[in-house]
Structure 1
Amino acid sequence: MEKTEDILQAGSSTERIECGISPQRPVMREQPILAVLVGAHFMHIMDFMMMLPLGPQFMKLFAITPQQFGTLISAYAFSAAICSFFASFVIDRFDRKIILLLLCGGMGIATLICALAIDYKMLLLARAVAGGVSGILSAIIFAIVADVIPAQRRGVATGTIMSAFSMAAVIGMPIGMLLANLIDWCASYFLLTALSCVMVIVVLRVLPPLRGHLLHHQERHPFRQLRAIFWVRNHLYAFALIATLMFAGFSVSPFISTYMVINIGMAEVDLPYLYFFGGLATFFTAHFFGKLADYHGKRKIFGVAAALSVFPILMVTHLSPVPTVFAVGISTLFMMLVSGRFVPAMALVTASVTPHLRGSFLSFNISVQQLSAGSASLLAGSIMGISANGALTHYDSVGIIAAIATILSILLAVKVNNHQE
């Protein structure tokens, strides 16, 4: 009982701190909550990431084109966008723990369907189901962070959550690829199903009820809810920022593995190195960018990180056949800066909305993210083709589009303010 009250007090204390008022009690036990959230984030990040190195296998196994592989990525993203959009109307009405528990169970079911897929159509359906669950899961994770962690420490907390990407790349991907190479690609998704079951138990036993946001909740008609979110200019700038950022990243990243194998000549067994070293680097840079954002300002650090990310975006998409070591180095730099810029961006976005709308806003935000990511994958897949010798074409054009979107995101970040401002 005491633990529950501590967490509820932490949520209310967060808002008092944001308003410039010292809390009556210290914020309690943030670390166990962050640990659970990192685990949940790791689970659904790995679910998505496992598709990327399996691209060459899927293209051979199911006889699909780059466009069809892009559709697999887009189905996941569009499903996440639709589900998180409708979840936005109800997500703030319930205990965050209950929602997280249901979503972890749903992720287990989705990954099991994926593991049992026997053809392209079934795999496409499985990815749509997984995307729907993942979109809402991502929204609830960042809503809990914003509820529990005070604003002045939220950059570091966001960096901690984002380190799940590094963990997925350093630990999850090599294990998943090892299983895929030794047994079959579906073994990786059976592993994720087992991990989802573990997360259900962990959430149930470790996470206390999280109802602090219900103190601020106001029942609204769906149209009034839409008005409360979309009739605020600051919210629109925040959505535009995250949309351009996701478009820039997801027009390039889904095809890196396939491009490295087909065009650069990297062996499929070497693909885990691509994610291992990239993830290992981002494990440190995510925390680094979070701390910089808290000390020097989220907008400023985002601008610097995004500007620097233009260079590896153009390099990785214009790469010619090179030694594997050089290719891994370029992709590592790409992952460091593309994921690093997302840390201050998310901290900036979560601060742009008032507490009582935060859950709905972040669910809409995930919808915008995934819609943009799906559109990027679909557009990139339609631009790219296969030459007579089997190489991917026009990946360089995709890189130029991603670079332009990145520059646009820097301009939009200037317009996004803290909700108190």
Structure 2
Amino acid sequence: MKPDSNKAAPFTRYQILLITLLALLQFTVILDFMVLSPLGDILMKSLNIKPAGFGWVVSSYAFSAGASGLLAAGFADKFDRKKMLLFFYTGFIIGTLACALANSFVALMAARIFTGLFGGVIGAISLAVVTDVFEINQRGRVMGIVQMGFAASQVLGIPIGLYFANLWGWHAPFLMIVGLAVLIGIVIIVKMKPVNKHLVLQEDKNAFLHLWHTIENKDYRIGFTATAFLSIGGFMLMPFGSAYLINNIHITQQQLPTIFLITGLSSIVVMPYLGKLSDKYDKFYLFTAGSLLAIAMILVYCNMPPVPLWQVIVINVIMFMGIMGRMIPSTALATAVPEMRDRGAFMSINSSLQQMAGGIAAVCAGLIVSQPHKSAPLKNYDILGWVVTAAILLCLYFVYRVSQMVKNKASYPINLSMNENYDNLDDVVR
């Protein structure tokens, strides 16, 4: 891999605080979504949900998140990003509480739709904050830490959530998330500074015109497509992960927390290291290495016979190393695509398309996978592995185009006149 030429700047004390807050915020949002997978077998049996129906439970969040992302995109650069973050985080907390109180398939579906309307935009706003506050050669490390919310949800959130679910029912994990999110929201109100430099750069007075100008940008559309393909694999495999391990690999419900715990711990160790590599070396080369590793391990995972617990753990750990090796450099590349005045809209649309692509993937996975009865092995899970492999290869092509576009952008002459984006120095990469 080729090293980047620019030296990464150290973080200030406030930046460290902001990274911590964003990581904790991501932890709650990701856990709210991720906890459905380990609860999948319990929910399918408790509420008499078939695989296709559970695919809709997962995708309902994704589709509503995608719709809200598009609706919010035109307004994303019109307000202080802190205020936007707090508004949507409040809605997310209310929606998660509704999930905890749901007592039927229909009520759960409605609660997931409401939660998605707010939760789906939070990641986009967080990325816009990261891009405004941190330089490009800091963002790989920031992404490595913020994305640790994904690993932390496995290390702490999912095992604890499963423990609570085993004690008090599947409603308990959602109540746990609500309590933690309220505390995080209070800290954000008190400690986070306004993020509003982008407001002076706005040219489109109309929010929908701003949305259209963002969508019609050819370079932005390449970034959108790459992100959509990036999300397909995870959404296809994730919804039925616990049901597959329990019914096909003969892992017990009590062993699931151990798998998530060890996989998450390994991710916490690996992700900051991958973030440093992403800042030091060519991001596309790192993405390619992660993609190849992910393909190999996904094909192994989806074609496993019943194996001992330790083998399942080893395969999961290596597979997630490949997945994280894709997420971190691709996300860092995506933050370099939009100009500062378009970042909120770009990130909202990007998140929206990611969610909708994932929703379609979850629905398709539910149609591919079948289960004759509640305790029967899932059928056609191996087919999912091949479909995900094809999506990863397509994604590789589009991320390559994004990488080339970002490199070409770095070679543009910098114009610091009053009519240009005064944040250009931040946007120039390598």
TM over 0.5, shorter chain: yes
With structure 2 as the length reference, what TM-score do the two structures score?
A: 0.89
Secondary structure of 1:252's aligned partner: helix
Is 2:310 the counterpart of 1:325?
yes
Aligned letter for 1:402?
A: V
Say whether the 8 Å CA contact 1:238–1:413 is kept in structure 2: yes
Q: CA deviation at 1:215?
A: 2.5
- 1:225 maps to 210
Say whether the 8 Å CA contact 2:283–2:330 is kept in structure 1: yes
Say whether the 8 Å CA contact 2:43–2:170 is kept in structure 1: no
Say whether the 8 Å CA contact 2:165–2:173 is kept in structure 1: yes
Which of 363, 375, 379 aligns to 1:393? It is: 379
Is 2:201 the counterpart of 1:216?
yes
Secondary structure of 2:147's aligned partner: helix
Say whether the 8 Å CA contact 2:73–2:211 is kept in structure 1: no
Aligned letter for 1:396?
A: D
Q: CA deviation at 1:230?
A: 2.3
Say whether the 8 Å CA contact 1:115–1:187 is kept in structure 2: yes
Say whether the 8 Å CA contact 1:104–1:197 is kept in structure 2: no
| 1:8-407 → structure 2 map (5 Å cutoff) | 29-387=14-372, 390-407=376-393
Alpha-carbon distance in structure 1 between the residues aligned to 2:200 and 2:275: 29
* CA-to-aligned-CA distance 1:72-115 (integer Å, 9 cap, x gap): 11001001100011000101111111111222221221111001
Alpha-carbon distance in structure 1 between the residues aligned to 2:91 and 2:38: 24
Secondary structure of 1:93's aligned partner: coil
Alpha-carbon distance in structure 2 between the residues aligned to 1:237 and 1:155: 20
Runs of at least 5 residues in structure 1 that lack an aligned partner in the other structure: 1-19
Say whether the 8 Å CA contact 1:156–1:287 is kept in structure 2: yes
Which range moved further: 345-354 or 100-109?
A: 100-109
Say whether the 8 Å CA contact 1:278–1:336 is kept in structure 2: no
Secondary structure of 2:337's aligned partner: coil
Q: Percent identity?
A: 32
Q: CA deviation at 1:341?
A: 0.9
Runs of at least 5 residues in structure 2 that lack an aligned partner in the other structure: 1-5, 412-430
Aligned letter for 1:327?
A: V
| Matched positions, count | 398
Say whether the 8 Å CA contact 1:384–1:395 is kept in structure 2: yes
Secondary structure of 1:269's aligned partner: coil
Q: CA deviation at 1:325?
A: 1.3
Q: CA deviation at 1:256?
A: 1.2
* CA-to-aligned-CA distance 1:293-348 (integer Å, 9 cap, x gap): 11112122111111221011111111111111111221222222213310100111
With structure 1 as the length reference, what TM-score do the two structures score?
A: 0.91
Aligned letter for 2:352?
A: S
Alpha-carbon distance in structure 1 between the residues aligned to 2:22 and 2:271: 16
Aligned letter for 1:135?
A: G
Say whether the 8 Å CA contact 1:264–1:320 is kept in structure 2: yes
Q: CA deviation at 1:367?
A: 0.3
For the aligned residue pairs, the C-alpha RMSD in angstroms reads: 1.7
